[in-house]
Amino acid sequence: ALAPLTCCQNVGNLQSEAEAMLRAGDYAGAWRQSIAAAQAFEALGDKTNQGRSLNTAGAAAAHSGDYTSALRHMETSLALARESGQADLIVTRQNNIAGLHSMLGNYEDAYARYQDALKSIPEKPANETAVRDRQLTLTNLAILYLQVGQNRRALDLYKEILASPFNFAPSVRAQML
């Protein structure tokens, strides 16, 4: 006989379902599931997974056009990543928040978030995750420059990114350009 699921496994299943719903385009369902998972993880004192769930809730809200809720969830998710000392998640969540600000036309706020993300990454990263985080942040910053008509600055960043030793998958490289 199979052992019953533990409380944490059940909560993890909630979060996995929320992520599957998000991928499937069921944003309302993803939001409900991820909020339920975040509340359960909070009750368990699991800040890492609480932040993950809130990040999913933020993505679901953003896809639904509720940018105010998306920002609130993602800001809380970022604060939890900082409390947990998860450097790679801090950068990812700063990029997510910057992207939301950009969608809202808050370009100065987006720029500030991308700069904060870059400050979290060494200029000469020592590991593949940090290299990837730096390149993705620079790519997002280049897209922001294009949005505000600073094409030369965007091109300079793209040249820096392409000169990097890290090789993105061809599909990711295509999205960058």
Mean pLDDT of the chain: 88
Residue 177's pLDDT is: 57
The arithmetic mean of pLDDT across residues 18-25, rounded, is: 95
Residue 4's pLDDT is: 37
Question: Looking at the predicted structure, is the pLDDT value of residue 174 above 80?
Answer: no
- Say if CB 29 and CB 14 are below 8 A apart: no
Question: Looking at the predicted structure, is the pLDDT value of residue 1 above 90?
Answer: no
- Say if CB 97 and CB 78 are below 8 A apart: yes
Cα separation of the two ends of the chain: 53
DSSP state of 31: H
